[in-house]
Amino acid sequence: MMEGVELQIRAQQSLPNNSSTYPHSHDRRLQSGDQFRESKEQLEANLSTIDRFYASPEAGPHDGPPNCQRCGKKKRDVARAFYDYYLSNDPRAWYADHAQYKQEMHRRFENPDVYSLDDNHAFFQSVLREHLKQDLCTVRSTDDAIITGFKYRTSDLFNEGRSTDEILDAYLGHVSSIAPGPGTVAFDSALQDSTTREERAQLYINYYCASSWNDTPAVKAIKAKHARMFEALVPHDQVLASWRKDAQDSQASKILELQGKLSDIKMAQSAYLKSKKRKAEKDQRMVDREPTPRIEQCTLGGCPIEINLVTEEVIECAICEWMDRKGGERGRAVYCSLEHANEDFEEHDRHDHRCMADKCIYYPKLGPPGNFTGSLCVCQCCLEEDLVSMYCSRECYEENFPEHQEQAFQRRGNHNHYAELEYFRPAEDMQIIS
């Protein structure tokens, strides 16, 4: 009856879960293995105690068949020892979350005239075997072709009825065959022989945290941090999760730093190219002694009159002229007469001078009370990339700066998008008519 009880659940390095149950994590397998070994030792100790007691005079005499109280009590004590073995309340047990197994095993012990201890042990072995099959053979989405193929072959061994010991030996042999080096093989082997958390913690430190001559200061710091976590008996999976997060954060920080430097280079290059362009334009103006006619149609809708911006006196919107000088795409708003300028004023002001903030603090008004042209401003950092971002006031700009900065990051990547404004100033030779 006890022939199969010596089966050991061997702890090996974990495979990450791809479902809510299987395969189990590294730490969960170790916990199950420890509980299985301790439970078996406790069963053997309890059975030895029972044998010694009923071999002593304290057990009392036999009453003889068929209703010997002494034999009946011994039988119940033995059944209780196996009940504790098969149905431990220890949360580490491999069947801790297996409600159907526990219900069925409990039902069997409630009916000792129907199910013998041999029957119960056979049931225990069959469910344990299925558990091992699921744990070892469940394929994860991240498994490569070699691991997936071996899991299928391992499942076939279970289906062929091979012994559990033979299957576990084959599985551990495969783990060793795909190990990256002899150090990993030795680590796996030592882990199989370990029995305490303290012993495993030292194995983890020696394997993961051993120093190397080419370790950078950052790597040394990470190894020291996680060695302390292992020494504090923090679970293996939790330590490695922390390690992966630190590595990802470090990589992300380096990428952000490189993106910032690249953005600075692009800004410097843009400033250089714009300066070069301005110089070329100035040189060209010096060469072109005769003015070149530039014709624009009156901005008032429906007016066909054209204005020569070079030879004629121009009536135009000072704000649009300022934005055009800054590189805006709307162009200048010119008029053939003061009457047409006044007629178009409200529509033009409402359409072309609106604050760019999605959540303008003065909406639906165009800006702060009074003559708000003195508060009009553009983002100076955006000007460096030839983009005119006009706001109705500093207050509105500051209120909307986080969203504006995020939009700038989406266009150019992370960079030093500083909060600095340039305020509206009409051209020096322009006469302002209110």
Retrieve residue 381's tokens: 């950092």
**Token pair for 382:** 């955006």
What integer best gives the mean pLDDT of the chain? 83
Closest CA to 421 of 373, 377, 374, 358: 377
**335 bridge partner residues:** 315
Q: Which two tokens stand for residue 268?
A: 């410097």
Segment 20-60, tens digit of pLDDT: 488 988 899 999 999 999 999 999 999 999 999 988 888 88
Across 212-280, where does the E strand assignment appear? none
Query: With bands split at pLDDT 50, 70 and 90, how would you rate the model's confidence at 132?
Result: very high
Amino acid, single-letter form, for residue 103: Q
Residues 6+ apart with CB under 8 A from 248: none
Please, is 79 exposed, middle or buried when counting C-beta atoms within 10 Å of its C-beta (0-12, 13-18, 19+)? Answer: middle
Q: Is 432 exposed, middle or buried (0-12, 13-18, 19+ CB in 10 A)?
A: exposed
Is pTM beyond 0.85? Reply is no
- The long-range contacts involving 389-392, CB below 8 angstroms and separated by at least 24 positions, are 389/356, 390/323, 390/328, 390/353, 390/355, 390/356, 391/355, 391/356, 391/357, 391/421, 392/355, 392/357, 392/360, 392/362, 392/366, 392/367, 392/368
Residue 297 near residue 305 (C-beta atoms within 8 A): yes
Give 320-351 as a DSSP string. HHHHHHTT-SS---EESSHHHHHHHHHHHHHH
Residue 298, amino acid: C
Lookup: tokens for 156: 């076939």
φ/ψ bin of 384: left (φ > 0), alpha (ψ from -120 to 50), beta (otherwise) = alpha
- Give the HSE-up count for residue 380: Cα atoms under 13 Å, Cβ half-sphere: 8
pLDDT at residue 392 is higher than 50: yes
pLDDT digits (tens, 9 = 90+) for 216-264: 888 888 899 999 999 999 999 899 989 888 888 877 777 777 777 777 6
Q: How far is CA 44 from the centre of its chain?
A: 47
Q: In terms of DSSP H, where are the helices of 55-116?
A: 69-86, 99-110
Beta bridge partners of 316: 334
Query: What pLDDT, on a 0 to 100 scale, did the predictor assign at position 388?
Result: 83
Between CA 385 and CA 397 the distance in angstroms is: 18
Beta bridge partners of residue 297, listed in sequence order: 306
For residue 422, pLDDT beyond 60: yes
Determine the Cα–Cα distance for residues 198 and 209; give it in Å rounded to an integer: 16
pLDDT in tens, 176-218: 888 778 888 888 888 888 989 999 999 999 999 988 888 888 8
Q: How far apart are CA 135 and CA 275, in angstroms?
A: 68
pLDDT digits (tens, 9 = 90+) for 318-346: 888 888 888 877 788 888 888 888 888 88
| Residue 307, beta-bridge partner list | 296
Tokens representing 71 are: 């034999």
- The torsion angles phi and psi of 205, rounded to 5 degrees, stand at -60, -45
